[in-house]
């Protein structure tokens, strides 16, 4: 099923994000149990990231897990596909494999710039909008990434929204956002997007804090800001992993409740492959 059709018929679409196993061999039973528990919650779709060792064109692990989620667990998958280091032929091959495996939905991303990457060397892709256009022409339901506080490489709000409009014009049927710890940033982003003519639905990305190092890494990687309440929680529970996770889940639940009251088009939960995270935050949602 094309995920764009789900957005048309539901007020709020609920999705989870998972990543492929890091092992080079076949997943063991515990890995299958993780995905089974997450999919058993019956989300509207599951987004599958490019796993470690995956190629710039998505990687076999991403496609394999996406196919498994659909065939074994009966949940619609969305496979991530990156392009910054990919050739047109790589993308074509990945598209053909996804079609053969019954995958209909793709999140088209520029992707992180690899270490040692020559920014001045000729390449087939520079921006995500170029990949979105190609994947859309391949007949997939194509999604794009959105950044409530702007991409870390983005200069200002105007540029951020202009890139979003270009992705929509290239064929993005919906968007999922980078993690955002403040609903106010998300609401402001939606307002700016609407004024620019963005009509594709936008799901809010929610990631519970699971540890101090995780939060610090996300701040510097993504450019997301921390509300004072979250800073206080980190200060209070930062030395106790269990208490911090519990506080983080409660904080994310409050975010979700606020987003539902606001009428958000979707809630996209970064599960970090932890079934307990999906189960806690899905309560009352699914």
Reduced to 3 states, what is the DSSP secondary structure of residue 143? Answer: strand
Respond yes or no: is residue 17 known to be catalytic.
yes
CB neighbour class for 188 (10 Å; exposed up to 12, middle 13-18, buried from 19): middle
Question: Could you give the residue ranges of the DSSP H alpha helices within the chain?
Answer: 3-9, 29-39, 60-71, 88-100, 128-137, 157-170, 183-195, 212-222, 228-237, 241-262, 275-282
163's CB contacts (< 8 A; 6+ apart) are 127, 129, 151, 154
Active-site residue, from 17, 76, 104, 149: 17
| Those residues with Cβ within 8 angstroms of residue 41's Cβ, 6 or more apart along the chain or in another chain | 16, 278, 279, 282, 286
Phi then psi for 244, rounded to 5 degrees?
-65, -40
**Residue 185's Cα: distance from chain center in Å?**
17
Find out whether 20 and 65 touch, Cβ atoms under 8 Å. Answer: yes
| Residues classed as catalytic | 17
């Amino acid at each position: 099923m094309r995920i764009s059709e789900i957005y048309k018929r539901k007020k709020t679409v609920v999705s989870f994000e998972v990543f492929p196993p890091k092992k080079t061999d076949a997943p063991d039973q515990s890995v299958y149990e993780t995905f089974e528990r997450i999919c058993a919650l019956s989300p509207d779709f599951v987004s599958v990231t490019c796993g470690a060792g995956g190629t710039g064109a998505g990687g076999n692990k991403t496609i394999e897990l996406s196919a498994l989620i659909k065939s074994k667990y009966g949940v619609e998958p969305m496979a991530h596909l990156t392009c910054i280091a990919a050739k047109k032929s790589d993308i074509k091959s990945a598209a053909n494999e996804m079609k053969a495996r019954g995958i209909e939905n793709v999140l088209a991303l520029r992707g992180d710039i690899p270490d040692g990457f020559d920014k001045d060397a000729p390449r087939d892709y520079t921006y995500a909008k170029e990949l979105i256009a190609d994947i859309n022409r391949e007949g997939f339901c194509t999604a794009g990434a959105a950044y409530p506080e702007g991409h870390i490489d983005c200069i200002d709000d105007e540029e951020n929204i202009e890139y979003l409009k270009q992705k929509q014009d290239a064929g993005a049927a919906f968007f999922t956002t980078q993690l955002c710890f403040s609903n106010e940033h998300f609401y402001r982003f939606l307002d700016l997007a609407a004024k620019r003519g963005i009509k594709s639905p936008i799901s809010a990305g929610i990631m519970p804090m699971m540890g101090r190092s995780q939060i610090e890494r996300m701040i510097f990687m993504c450019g997301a800001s921390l509300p004072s309440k979250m800073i206080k929680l980190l200060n209070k529970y930062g030395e106790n992993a269990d208490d911090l996770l519990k506080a983080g889940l409660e904080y994310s639940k409050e975010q979700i409740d606020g987003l539902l009251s606001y009428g958000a088009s979707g809630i996209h939960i970064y599960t970090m492959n932890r079934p307990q995270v999906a189960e806690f935050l899905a309560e009352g949602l699914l």
